[in-house]
Structure 1
Amino acid sequence: MRVWSVLKKLSLKEFFQLAGLMLQNPLYILPTLKATKLTLEICNASYADTHHLHGKANAFRHALWNVLICQKTFKITKNDEKSIIWAQKVTDLHEELAPNEPLEKAMDLHNNQIGRFYFASIKGSSEEEIILFLKEKAQKGKKIIEIKDILDHQSNLVYLSEE
C-alpha cells in the first residue's frame, strides 16, 4: 500500500476531510489500514488487476473491504454498530474523494453497504470462510445498467461489466 502516494494526490480540503475522520477515532486507523492492505492483497491474488474494473471482482473487493474494516475495528469497539458506522464513514469518504462516474459510484456505495450488511452474519468466520462466502455472493451478483437498477437488487452485490 502506498499511503504517501495516495495522500499526495489529495487536495488540501480532501486531506483535511480525511484527517478529520481519522482524528475522530485514532484507535481505528491501524485496523482500517490493515483491512485495506489485506483487501488489496486478497484481491490481487484472486483477481490480478480485474478487481480495479467494474465487474464481479470489483463488487467482491468493495464488500470484502467493508467486512474486514468492520471485523478489524470490532476487536476494539466490541460493538457491531460502531464498527459498521466507522466502515461506512471511511468507505463513503473514499467514494466521495475517488473520481468516479455516477453509476460507478452508486455501484461502489451499494456494494460497500452490502459488505457491511454481511458483516453481522459472518463476523466470527475465518478469513478463508469470508473470502469463499463473498466470492459466491459476487458470482451471484447482478449486472446493472442504470442507477435505478440497484433498487431491484437491494440484497445482492451488483456490477457493471463482465471482466
Structure 2
Amino acid sequence: MVTWADVSQWKADGIGQIGDHLAAQNRQVLGLQDEIDGAKPVGWAGEAADAAAENLRARCQELEDLAARLSAAVKIIDNTEQAVRDLVRSVETTEDFAAKNGFRIDNGKVVETEDATGFLSSVLLQVEVEAILARAGQIDTELNSVLKRILAGEIGDAGATTLAAAAMAGEDRIADEQRHRDLLAKYQVKTDGTTVWPSGLTGWLAERAGFSKEKITQAEAKLLDDLQMRKGLLGLKEFADIRQDALHVAEGKFEGKGLTDGHADAFRHAYWNAMMTQRYGEEWAREFATAHERNPTSHHVPVAMDLHNNEVGRSIARAHPDASPEELANLVEQAVKDGKMVVIDKNDTLVSSNESPPGETRETKNKPWPTDNPGRNDDHDPGEPSATPDQY
C-alpha cells in the first residue's frame, strides 16, 4: 500500500531517466532491421541454407518480441512519468495549503496545529489526501502489472513481421490496457440481491401461461412486477418475446461466433436495448438493462462490456426512432463492425469490436469467469428503479 511518506519522495525525473535509457536501447534494436533484411545471401540453397534460414527466423522472432516488450516498457514508463509529475504537483499544493491553514499531513492523516483555521479546511484536505493516495496506488499497480507481464513474456509482437510493426504492437497493447481500465472504471454497477421470479399469484398464473421461473435481481423483479401490473401477462409475454428475439437474431450474426463475450454477444445486448428503448422508452430500458447487470455472480469485466454495449444500443434507437426491427438489427450489426462496441479478447481485455476478429475473442465456455466478486459491492449504486414504461 502506498503511503503519504512514499509519494512525498516520488521523483518523476528518475522515472524519466529510466524511460530515456530504455528508449535508447529500443532504437538500437529497431536499427537492426536492415541487417536482418540482408542477412540471407542471394542464391544460397541446400540444407545448410534452410537451417540458416530457420535459425534467422528464430532470431528475428526473438528481436520482434524484444522490440514489442521494450516499446511497451517505454510507453508505460513515459505514462508513469507524466502521472507522477501531476501527482507530485498535487502533493506539493496540498502540503502548501495545509501549512498555510494550520495543518500538517502525518501518515495520510490531516493533523491540526495551533494555528488551524477550521473544520471545513480539515475535511477538504483529508478528501484531497485520500484522492492522491488512491491515484498513487493506481499508478503503482498499473506500472507493476505491466512490468510483470513484460518480464513474464506475456506481451508479444502480435504477429508482426518487422521490428517497427512489433514495436507498434507493444505500444498498442499498453494503450489497449489503458482503455480497458477506463472502461472498467466507467461501466460498473453495485450488485443487488436476487429472487426467484415470478412468484406469488403472478408466478402461479405465469407458470400456467407457459412461463418458467428464473433467478433475477430484485431490481429486475420490481420493474417486471410493475410491468405486469400495468399490462398483465400479455405485457410480460411481449417483454419476453423482445428478449428472445434479440437472442435469436444474434445467433444469426457473425456466424454465431462470440455468443458469450464476443461479437454476437455485443450485438445481442445492443439490439435488445435498442428494441426495449423503442417499446418502453430509453429511461426504462436503461434501468432494466442496468438492473440485469447487478447479479452478484457476474464478473466486472463482462459487466463493463454489457453496460457499454447496452448504452450504444439505446443511442442507436434514440437516433432512429422509426426504424423497423430489421433496420435496427442492421444498424447495430454495422456498429459492431465499425468498432463502436467492445468485446473481450483472449487476454481478458476489453477491446473495440473491430480490433478482434469474430471467433477470436475470449473462450468463456472453456474458461468461466469467477462467480465470487465481492469487489463489486463498492461500485456505483443506481438506487431503486423508478422509471415507468412508455405507452402504458
> Under a length normalisation based on structure 1, what TM-score does the superposition of the two structures give?
0.69
Q: 1:30 and 1:144 mapped to 2: Cα distance?
A: 32
CA contact (8 A) 1:55 1:159 kept: no
Q: 2:238 and 2:284 mapped to 1: Cα distance?
A: 11
Written as runs of structure 1 = structure 2, the 5 A alignment for 1:60-71 is 60-71=267-278
In structure 2, relative to structure 1, the CA distance for the partners of 1:84 and 1:162 (3 Å cut) is: same
In structure 2, relative to structure 1, the CA distance for the partners of 1:113 and 1:3 (3 Å cut) is: farther
Q: 1:112 and 1:159 mapped to 2: Cα distance?
A: 19
Asked if 1:58 is matched to 2:256, the reply is no
Alignment correspondent of 1:140: 338
Asked if 1:103 is matched to 2:301, the reply is yes
Deviations along 1:29-83, one digit per CA (max 9) or x if unpaired, are 343222101111211233565342212221111110001111223xxxxxxxxx1
Alignment correspondent of 1:118: 316
Alignment correspondent of 2:253: 46
CA contact (8 A) 2:272 2:313 kept: yes
Flag structure 1 segments of 5+ consecutive residues without an equivalent: 74-82
Q: Secondary structure at the match of 2:253?
A: helix
Q: 2:272 and 2:252 mapped to 1: Cα distance?
A: 15
Q: Secondary structure at the match of 1:54?
A: coil
Deviations along 1:117-139, one digit per CA (max 9) or x if unpaired, are 11111221122211111111101
Q: Tell me the CA shift for residue 86 of structure 1.
A: 1.1
Stretches (4+) displaced over 4 A: 142-150, 157-162
Q: Tell me the CA shift for residue 109 of structure 1.
A: 0.5
Alignment correspondent of 1:130: 328
In structure 2, relative to structure 1, the CA distance for the partners of 1:56 and 1:148 (3 Å cut) is: closer
> Under a length normalisation based on structure 2, what TM-score does the superposition of the two structures give?
0.32
Q: Secondary structure at the match of 2:323?
A: coil
Alignment correspondent of 2:244: 37
Deviations along 1:98-151, one digit per CA (max 9) or x if unpaired, are 73321110110111011111111122112221111111110112566799978x
Q: Which moved more, 1:62-71 or 1:133-142?
A: 133-142
Written as runs of structure 1 = structure 2, the 5 A alignment for 1:70-89 is 70-73=277-280, 83-89=281-287
Q: Tell me the CA shift for residue 96 of structure 1.
A: 1.1
Q: 2:271 and 2:316 mapped to 1: Cα distance?
A: 9
Asked if 1:4 is matched to 2:202, the reply is no
Asked if 1:25 is matched to 2:223, the reply is no
In structure 2, relative to structure 1, the CA distance for the partners of 1:129 and 1:160 (3 Å cut) is: same
RMSD: 3.3
In structure 2, relative to structure 1, the CA distance for the partners of 1:52 and 1:148 (3 Å cut) is: closer
CA contact (8 A) 1:107 1:159 kept: no
Per residue, is there more helix in 1 or in 2? 1
Q: 1:21 and 1:108 mapped to 2: Cα distance?
A: 19
CA contact (8 A) 1:54 1:159 kept: no
CA contact (8 A) 2:246 2:268 kept: yes
- How many pairs does the alignment contain? 142
